[in-house]
Amino acid sequence: MGLFDKLRNELVDVIEWVDDSRHTLVWRFPRYQNEIKNGAQLIVRPGQVALFVHRGQIADVFEPGHYELKTDNLPILSTIAGWKYGFNSPFRSEVYFVSTKQITDLKWGTPNPIMMRDPEFGPIRIRAFGTYAVKAADAKALLTELVGTSQEVDADAVTELLRSIIVSCVAELLGSSNIAALDLAAKYREFGETLRKSVQEKIDDEYGLEIPQLVIVNISMPEAVEKALDTRTSIGVIGDLGKFQQYQMGQAMAAAAENPSGGGAAEGMGLGLGMAMAGRMMQPGIFPPTAAAPAMPPTLPSAWHVAVNGQGQGPYSPDQVVSGIAAGQITKSTLVWSAGMAGWVAAGQVPQLAPAFGSPAPPPIPPAQP
């Protein structure tokens, strides 16, 4: 390689940035020790701005276009470098490309819950998260405040700062809104725009950035509070808890009766639930009785035990036993026992229980004699 070829390779004649990333904000042209020659080509693509920095001072700024670098389009650099009558020799200058495109799909969220006073629930904790977009609005301010001497600056370098500012503004917004937590969902769009403007005011002049979009995706309460709200909602949907309990007991009785593999346990469950349900029906004001139960003698013992599939169940109150007889859970052949009885006896043979089974059915009428 000859001397002239070596000198030619050390001169930069095309300056451009082919941006193949989505999150790069600023990129410095890798000139190294090479010099930019007179008449070099500068290519600034759409969505870019090029800045010349000479000895730490920002000089000329170029919008998208194709330029041939001469004295007439480098007026500030010519003044700084002392080119009174133009330049014919190569010169050294740093060239920074700044992306002016939106960087989207950036996320923000509250790392810790925000305490606020809710008009309905009192003091509660609120979490919020969403997305936002950022772009360079003032290339000079961005280069001065955030870039320094870095070779490349991407969105990660500013997202931590922006997230902190957004969270601070969210806390101020929610704290001053005086809106119930259950009504916040209807305000997402309005709050998002208010939040965007508040963040923009804090970064506009200082950092040279713009927030064109900021969206609130969700504002939520702690999981324990949400479960309590779900319970409260369920109670409201159910309405009359007494009737709902009766319905649940009836469903359990039907399920136990239809389970052929349940054996004695299923039968005992059905009897117990039936008596419990009947006991609730006997309480005034809960459910009107469909038919009056037969009156029991005043000498009826206060506690009874009932044999179900060879196992004793109870004790049951007289009202529960009567209701069990009326519901068909206790038949005349069902063995029962109470204090003072010598042993287990069929219910139909106990004088105190016999009236509960009603009068015996008359025998069939004999055929007429010829």
User: What's the pLDDT band for 370 if we cut at 50, 70, 90?
Assistant: low
- The whole-chain average pLDDT of the chain stands at 78
From 80-89, 147-156, 175-184, the region with the lowest mean pLDDT: 80-89
Contacts of 56 (CB under 8 A, 6+ apart): none
Kindly report whether the peptide bond that precedes residue 355 is cis, defined as omega within 30 degrees of 0. no
Helices (H) and strands (E) in the chain, counts: 9, 16
Task: Please give the pLDDT value at position 299.
Answer: 55
Domains identified in the chain and CATH numbers: 3-99 (no CATH), 103-226 (3.30.479.30), 240-356 (no CATH)
Return d(Cα 168, Cα 165) in angstroms, integer. 5
Tally of CB atoms within 10 A around 260 = 7
Q: How confident is the model at residue 261 (pLDDT cuts 50, 70, 90)?
A: low
Q: Which of 44, 86, 38 is nearest to 61 (CA)?
A: 44
Q: How confident is the model at residue 197 (pLDDT cuts 50, 70, 90)?
A: very high
Asked if the model's pLDDT at residue 330 lies above 70, the reply is: yes
Token output for 102: 């939106």
Strand partners, 304: 316
Angle at which helices 241-257 and 263-282 pack, to 10 degrees?
A: 150
Dig out the tokens for 231 from the structure: 């319970």
pTM to 2 decimals?
Answer: 0.56
CA 333 to chain centre: 60
Model pLDDT, residue 5: 46
Task: Write out the DSSP string of 265-299.
Answer: HHHHHHHHHHHHHHHHHHSTTTS--SSPPPPPPTT
What six digits make up the tokens of 189? 């769009």
Which runs of E-coded beta strand occur in the chain?
A: 11-15, 24-28, 35-44, 48-54, 57-62, 65-68, 94-99, 103-109, 114-118, 122-136, 152-154, 209-220, 304-308, 311-316, 335-337, 345-346
Quote the CA–CA distance of 203 and 162 in Å, as a whole number: 8
The pLDDT tens digits for 293-324 are 444 444 567 788 888 888 888 888 888 888 88
Bridge partners (DSSP) listed for residue 124: 116
What's phi and psi for 55, nearest 5 deg? 55, 45
Question: 206 Cβ partners below 8 Å, 6+ apart?
Answer: 141, 145
Q: Is the pLDDT of residue 152 over 70?
A: yes
